[in-house]
Amino acid sequence: MKKKDRKIFVLDTSVILYDHSAITSFEEHDVAIPIQVLEELDTFKKGNDTINYEAREFIRRLDDIANRDVLTDWIPLNGASHGKLKVVAKHDLNGVDATKVFQDGKNDHQILNATLTIQRQHKDRKVILVTKDIALRLKAKSLNIVSEDYLTGKVRNVNDQLYTGRTVLDDFREEPIDMLFERGSMPVAELGIDMPKGNHFYILKHKKKSILAKYDPRTGTVDRVEKKNIFGIGPKNAEQALAMSALLDPEIKLVTLQGTAGTGKTLLALACALEQRREYRQIYVTRPVVPLSNKDIGYLPGDIQSKLDPYMQPLWDNLKLIKGTFEKHDSTPKRIDEMLENDKISIAPLAYIRGRSLSNIFFIVDEAQNLTPLEVKTVISRAGEGTKIVFTGDIHQIDSPFLDSESNGLSYLIDKAKGDPLFAHITLEKGERSPLANLANDLL
């Protein structure tokens, strides 16, 4: 590739915190890092969250690359297929100064100036600012800077292409439906459907008849899915019945449930975990701590438990709902309390799993849409023998400023794992919390 055809990508801090290996993702093109990015990464290097890990790893990688070279000069990245790297320490502006345009010298505007400097110094090449900060992208474009999102690990056109895990076949032939009811299982060819992906679900309909089914990649058959009442919780629609089938199948080790608020994702996962409590050493229920305001967990009063309780409360609410389905004379709620006391059921933030071995555990990760692809990979890679992991979330309700409906870890996992015999997914669309909750999801 000729030098004039090689692009220069300027990376923002948000890209590094999302993926510390980002500098090697641009093939033969060159990468520039504004000095302000290194300053911001220095403030992120301490801590136990994933962004702290990303900051530390990038700093180490940059140190390895630099070796004895000066970072303000273009130095080659490792590998013949990669371009060169430099740090932009000084600005060389001609006319446009972002700090004056926006009347603020904050780091974002200094990063814009670094990009303008690269543009001025390399007028024969295309310069692109890469950032996951939407506001920064808009500011860049207002200064005639080409700006893009960092797309590695992104599921494009998620609304149209994201795997739902099920197929609805209306006007299906009546005879196969009757045979599946009678036998409970049929070969794919005999049922007369296209060869499905692993653990794919079906809703087969003929006039007033309908049946739920799942393709089993181990046997090559399509099996009937029956609705079950599990630990006081029964499915209220076909999607929930299919989800429970995946949650209860011991051969399926990885399950994702995606859907809007009130579709029953966490409740179903908890109920199915309790139903299988004797099969697992522990039920571990967790969620990432993502504050909904500018204040982080440290601003809350009290000890660590009182600080974390507000974030974990939705999980406790679901457990309380399950306990409330039993009659007063039933001893099941008491057994659930004993499981909590004995740590057979553990509810804690996701950060608490760092360094843990997840063997023979039913592991539920709630609000998984707030995880990066790397965080999802980290969780799954900790799975030991006999562990089952369930990710639940709503990809359209993301609290992390660096993620969207296409780049979050839940979307990424669904897209990459579909078809694997160890994996099953169901998108839940029908809300069952209340008519008022459904109104909010549909109209607001």
Show which of 114, 148, 182 is a domain's final residue. 148
Element (H, E) at 178: helix 174-183
Please tell me the predicted confidence (pLDDT) of residue 295. 42
What CATH number did the domain enclosing 374 receive?
3.40.50.300
Please tell me the predicted confidence (pLDDT) of residue 293. 38
Residue 383 contacts residue 391 (beta carbons within 8 Å) = no
Residue 352 contacts residue 365 (beta carbons within 8 Å) = no
Q: pLDDT by residue (tens digit) across 60-89?
A: 999 888 876 788 899 988 765 788 999 999
Instruction: Count how many residues are written for the chain.
Output: 444
With H, G, I as helix, E, B as strand and everything else as coil, classify residue 376. Answer: helix
Domain that holds residue 126: 3-148
159 contact partners, CB below 8 Å, separation of at least 6:
405
Q: pLDDT by residue (tens digit) across 225-242?
A: 999 998 889 999 999 999
Please tell me the predicted confidence (pLDDT) of residue 432. 67
Any long-range contacts for 49-55 (C-beta under 8 Å, 24+ apart)?
Answer: 49/351, 50/372, 50/374, 50/375, 50/378, 51/17, 53/20, 54/16, 54/17, 54/18, 54/19, 54/20, 54/374, 55/16, 55/17, 55/20
Tell me, yes or no, whether 188 lies in a domain. no
If asked whether residues 252 and 118 sit together in one domain, one would say: no
* Residue of 19, 12, 4 whose CA lies nearest to 407: 19
User: In the block, which residue shows the tokens 């009937």?
Assistant: 224
Q: How many CB atoms lie within 10 A of CB 209?
A: 12
Number of structural domains (the chain) is: 2
Residue 169 contacts residue 192 (beta carbons within 8 Å) = no
Tell me, yes or no, whether 380 lies in a domain. yes
Please tell me the predicted confidence (pLDDT) of residue 146. 95
Which ranges in 249-384 belong to alpha helices (H)?
A: 265-275, 304-323, 332-341, 373-381
Residue 174 contacts residue 209 (beta carbons within 8 Å) = yes
Tell me, yes or no, whether 309 lies in a domain. yes
If asked whether residues 114 and 255 sit together in one domain, one would say: no
Q: What is the pLDDT along the chain (444 residues), one digit of tens a residue?
A: 666 688 999 999 999 998 898 998 898 899 999 999 999 999 998 877 778 888 999 999 998 888 767 888 999 887 657 889 999 999 988 778 898 888 888 999 999 999 999 999 999 999 999 999 989 999 999 999 999 998 765 565 565 678 999 999 998 999 999 999 999 999 988 888 888 888 999 999 998 899 999 999 999 999 999 999 988 899 999 999 999 999 999 999 999 999 988 899 999 999 999 999 999 999 999 988 754 333 455 555 555 556 566 667 888 888 888 888 888 888 888 888 898 888 899 888 887 776 677 899 999 999 999 998 888 998 999 899 999 999 999 999 988 877 888 889 999 999 999 999 999 999 998 876 677 766 766 666
- The CA distance from 148 to 133, in Å, is 10
Tell me, yes or no, whether 412 lies in a domain. yes
Q: How many CB atoms lie within 10 A of CB 195?
A: 9
If asked whether residues 132 and 275 sit together in one domain, one would say: no
In this structure, is the dihedral angle defined by the CA atoms of residues 436, 440, 443 and 444, taken in order, positive or negative? Answer: positive
User: In the block, which residue shows the tokens 């999607």?
Assistant: 239
pTM of the model: 0.80
Show which of 148, 174, 192 is a domain's final residue. 148
Tell me, yes or no, whether 203 lies in a domain. no
Tell me, yes or no, whether 351 lies in a domain. yes
Tell me, yes or no, whether 195 lies in a domain. no
Q: Side chain identity at 369, as an amino acid letter?
A: Q
Cα–Cα distances (Å) from 211 to 182, 233, 272, in that order, read: 11, 21, 22
Show which of 113, 148, 183 is a domain's final residue. 148
**Phi and psi torsions of 361, nearest 5°:** -125, 140
If asked whether residues 144 and 236 sit together in one domain, one would say: no
Q: How many CB atoms lie within 10 A of CB 268?
A: 28
If asked whether residues 237 and 128 sit together in one domain, one would say: no
Tell me, yes or no, whether 239 lies in a domain. yes
